[in-house]
């Protein structure tokens, strides 16, 4: 289920709403889009779950990766927010589940 969706009974009465938990994340940005793209490449080579946005990357806090990203000259900050990583090449496509 995706954040914001509802789990309901057969009669349609909503019971539970999906709300993602806040987690400690690294938010990675750069004034140079190519450097951000390179960071995504290197993180992908390590099979790191990654949330990709148009101007930033987000990943779970990992001090080793944080140092690597800083060493590459990227902007890195820590936040506590919901984490919605890409499902990956073999993950389910968004909204792939069926509805009755």
pLDDT digits (tens, 9 = 90+) for 29-67: 999 999 999 999 999 999 999 999 999 999 999 999 999
What is this structure's pTM?
A: 0.77
Residue 99 has pLDDT above 70, yes or no: no
**Model confidence over 57-72: pLDDT tens digits?**
999 999 999 999 999 9
**Would you say the C-alpha torsion 45, 47, 48, 50 has a positive or negative sign?**
positive
Q: Residue 55 sits in which domain range?
A: 20-82
Total of domains in the chain: 1
In a domain, 94, yes or no: no
Query: DSSP 3-state assignment of 15?
Result: strand
In a domain, 13, yes or no: no
């Amino acid at each position: 289920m995706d954040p914001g969706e509802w789990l309901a009974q057969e009669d349609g009465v909503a019971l539970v709403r999906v709300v993602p938990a806040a987690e400690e994340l690294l938010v990675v940005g750069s004034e140079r889009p190519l450097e951000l793209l390179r960071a995504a490449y290197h993180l992908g080579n390590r099979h790191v779950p990654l949330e990709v946005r148009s101007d930033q990357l987000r990943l779970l806090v990992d001090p080793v990766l944080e140092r690597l990203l800083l060493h590459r000259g990227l902007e890195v900050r820590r936040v506590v927010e919901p984490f919605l990583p890409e499902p990956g090449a073999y993950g389910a496509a968004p909204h792939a589940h069926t509805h009755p």
